[in-house]
Amino acid sequence: MTSDSDDRRSTDDHGHDIIDPLFVGIVTVSSSRAAKDDPDDPGGDTIQDCFEAEDHVVRERLLVRDDYSAIRTAVRSLVARRDIDVVCTTGGTGVTVDDVSPEATASLFERELPGFGERFRSLSWDEVGTRAIASRATAGIAVDTPVFCLPGSQSACETACTELIVPEAPHLAGLATRHRTGTTDRTLAEYQGE
């Protein structure tokens, strides 16, 4: 069977590969929220709202504590899925000892996207001034999937999503998976049967 992203693949006005609509995974990183039975999730909700406003589909939302292994495992589980085109994490990008989201996600990157963090901090400067230097927001490609690591605040998530991620993610997902176009996903048993 071919990947369902092939059905959503096209090119934009400039001939660049895009996937639209995107299927999105969101990981909220917060020990305090993870300890609650029914936690609120303003950062995750904002990311979801931004993607859905442009007709993309959120396929999975996960909530994990501020822990390197928990974050890495959650992100890895999402990028391994062929039905997830982009992953966003929210929370854990500051400078406290338990802010390890950038390290946990970056450990999965095959290629970094340094322009994202640079531009995000520039945009944040206009909103929060010198506090923008405390953000360690980052992005990269992991298992052919764009991954964005965002702060936990609603404002930061909205700025990152509306100004940078949602407009560019269809193109990034298209480029990152272009080498898979027209290929067939097979089970191990099907592969071994050849």
pLDDT digits (tens, 9 = 90+) for 165-194: 999 999 999 999 988 766 555 555 655 665
* For residue 3, pLDDT beyond 60: no
**3-class DSSP assignment, residue 152:** coil
Strands (DSSP E) along the chain, which ranges?
Answer: 9-11, 17-19, 23-29, 57-64, 86-90, 111-112, 138-142, 145-150
pTM above 0.85, yes or no: yes
Assigned CATH topology for domain 19-175: Molybdenum Cofactor Biosythetic Enzyme; Chain A (3.40.980)
Q: Percent of the chain at pLDDT above 90?
A: 79
* pLDDT, position 32: 78
**Displacement of CA 191 from its chain's centroid (Å):** 30
Task: Tell which residue, 79, 156, 164, has the closest CA to residue 115.
Answer: 164
Task: Tell which residue, 91, 192, 78, 90, has the closest CA to residue 143.
Answer: 78
Rounded CA-CA distance 75/143 in Å is 11
Mean pLDDT, to the nearest integer, of 56-73? 97
Q: Which two tokens mark 106?
A: 């970056």
* For residue 2, pLDDT beyond 50: no
* pLDDT, position 179: 81
Q: Which two tokens mark 68?
A: 């390197």
Strand partners, 6: none
- Residue 52 CB partners (closer than 8 Å, separation 6+): 58
* pLDDT, position 1: 41
Rounded CA-CA distance 85/27 in Å is 14
Place of tokens 């096209």: 10
* For residue 73, pLDDT beyond 70: yes
* For residue 123, pLDDT beyond 50: yes
Average pLDDT, the chain: 91
Task: Tell which residue, 83, 96, 75, has the closest CA to residue 139.
Answer: 75
Task: Tell which residue, 4, 111, 112, has the closest CA to residue 57.
Answer: 4
**With bands split at pLDDT 50, 70 and 90, how would you rate the model's confidence at 33?**
confident
* pLDDT, position 178: 85
**3-class DSSP assignment, residue 124:** helix
Rounded CA-CA distance 172/153 in Å is 24
